[in-house]
Amino acid sequence: MLWLFASIAFLAHQIIVLMEPGVIAQLMEGMAEGQKINPGMILFFAIIMLVPMVMSFLSLNLKNSLNCWLNIIVGAVFAVLWFTSVIEAAQSAYWGGALMTLSAAVASALIVWYAWKHRLTS
C-alpha cells in the first residue's frame, strides 16, 4: 500500500507543478526545470513512475527474504531521490509539489522501516 501511496503522491506532485505559472510554456518550448527535454529524461521519469507500481506488485508476490531486501534497497533509493526533490521544490517555492513529494519520501522511508523491522522478526 505504501508503494502505491508514494506513486500517487509523486504523480500528484507532477500535476501540481504544471499549475505553477510559466511551467506549461517552458514544456511547450521543450524545456523542463531549465533542462532540454530529451528521450533520456522522458525515460528516466517513466522509470521513476513505474518502479513504485512494480514494487507494489512484487511486494505481494516475492518470498519474505527477497521481498524485505528489495523493499529496503529500492525504498532507500526512492526515499533519497524524493527527499532531494523536496529540497529542490522548496527552494523553488513549489510548496504544493514539495508537500506531495515529502509525503512520497516519507512513504518510502516507512517502506524501508517496515521491511527492516519485518526482516528482523522473520
Domain limits at 84? 2-121
pLDDT tens for 93-108 read 778 888 888 999 999 9
Domain count, the chain: 1
At residue 122, does pLDDT exceed 70?
Answer: no
Euclidean distance between CA atoms 47 and 36, whole angstroms: 18
3-state secondary structure at position 31: strand
Residues 87-94, mean pLDDT to the nearest whole number: 80
Q: Please give the model's pTM, rounded to 2 decimal places.
A: 0.85
Cα–Cα distance, 13 to 40 (Å, whole number): 21
For 41-76, the pLDDT digits (tens) are 999 989 999 999 999 999 999 988 899 999 999 999
Separation CA 120–CA 31 (nearest Å): 46
